[in-house]
Amino acid sequence: MIVSEVFIYKFGVVAVPFMDFRHFGKTPSVHCGARTPFFDLTVYNDWPQFEDYVKGVAHDNPSFVQLKTIGRSREGRPLLGVRIGKPAPAGKRKIAVWLDGGNHAREWPAFHVAVYFIEKLVNGYLVDDKITKYVNTLDIYVFPVLNPDGFVYSRTSTRATIRQWRKNRAPENCTGTGPFSSDLCCEGVDLNRNYDIGFSHKNYPFNNPCSDEFQGPRPFSEPESRAVRDFVMSSEIYGRLYALVSMHTHGQLWILPYNYHKRTYPQDFKDLETLANRAADRVFAYRETKYRVGTAADMLGTATGGATDWIKKNTPTKYVYVLELPPDMKTWFAFQVKPHWLIPIGKETWLGIEVIFDQVIEETKNFQPTAETAVTNATDNNSRSPRFRQL
């Protein structure tokens, strides 16, 4: 059912047509054999709804959706996602892309937008020509929640210190400092500071267990970050993962590597920047949501130990981005927008994702991913396998 609702946005009142996802609460959505379980994208959901949804969409669509469990959290929750894509012909490997909802507990919109993407891909298969092409051509991995423990904790109270929790739920570390004291005991690690890139205990606030950005006692100290590292380095996707987009909130920023040091860029930075600008322009054309494009280090300040920085540095993946979803930086502490914005944000962000998918398909149409596995030592950049072998 296609409906039209009026949304008030910062640029005025606009009529926005969209697919009303609320009808999924009545019966599962079914199109040409594809179906998705109930997931209400007009409210914020709890972890059990995410878990049931991800398992359900894989169960209901076995011909082109596969459940992926890449590890478990500190508290034993599964790190769940799906691989959406028709099986490759015998002897062939498909190019892969990765979308995730980020790893910061309080950034609920990013988790829900990732589910919107699953809905779009599954329900559009064999209905929408462009989406059918994506599913037939690519393996699309979507991981909505990479920090389930922190997310569950952030949903337990309306108190700011809990609702705005950012980290995972690592045990207390009693080396923290505050304005007037030291040796404080604080919990949790910022999973997006826990990767082995720019990691240093000399850098404040990343070395303070009582900081939202505590990087952890050592690189990859957390099972959540280790799970992502091990999967991107596994034989399943290493050498064929061509693009990765990790969504966060907030700020309307399209963030490129590298962010552990100012004015530090990969060799193909211009390619990443050009594609990011095209994708941001496509999003802007829809409803004038303006993204700034660049590294976070240059735009905001350095951030060490980032997942996307590490992946770009240590794998053959070419296009690696972080999206800080709306609202923009003028809105104070808006990690959780009103839930009626989830579908509009999902719609406009998907338009940018399409630009990336189209570029990946165009660039790799004559490529065959390598079948080599990652090197044992992920930091040994000189022994990485080739990016992609041209046919």
| Catalytic-labelled residue, pool 51, 324, 362, 372 | 324
241-251 and 95-100 strand pairing: parallel
CB 216 within 8 A of CB 304: no
* Burial (Cβ within 10 Å: 0-12, 13-18, ≥19) of residue 244: buried
Instruction: Provide φ and ψ at 342, rounded to 5°.
Output: -60, -45
For residue 162, what are its two tokens? 């809990």
Q: 């049931």: which residue's tokens?
A: 52
3-state secondary structure of 70: strand
Number of residues that make up the chain: 391
Q: What is the DSSP string of 198-258?
A: S--TTSTTTT-TTSTT---SSTT-SHHHHHHHHHHTSTTTTTTEEEEEEEEEEE-EEEES-
Q: Choose among 120, 75, 81, 86: nearest CA to 101.
A: 81
Q: Is 372 a catalytic residue?
A: no
Q: Choose among 383, 341, 390, 326: nearest CA to 363.
A: 390
* Burial (Cβ within 10 Å: 0-12, 13-18, ≥19) of residue 330: exposed
CA 37, 42, 43, 44 torsion-angle sign: positive
Q: Choose among 315, 104, 110, 75: nearest CA to 191.
A: 104
Non-local CB neighbours of 15 within 8 Å, separated by 6+ positions: 4, 5, 6
For residue 210, what are its two tokens? 């009582």
What residue type is 84 in one-letter code?
Answer: I
The catalytic residues are 324
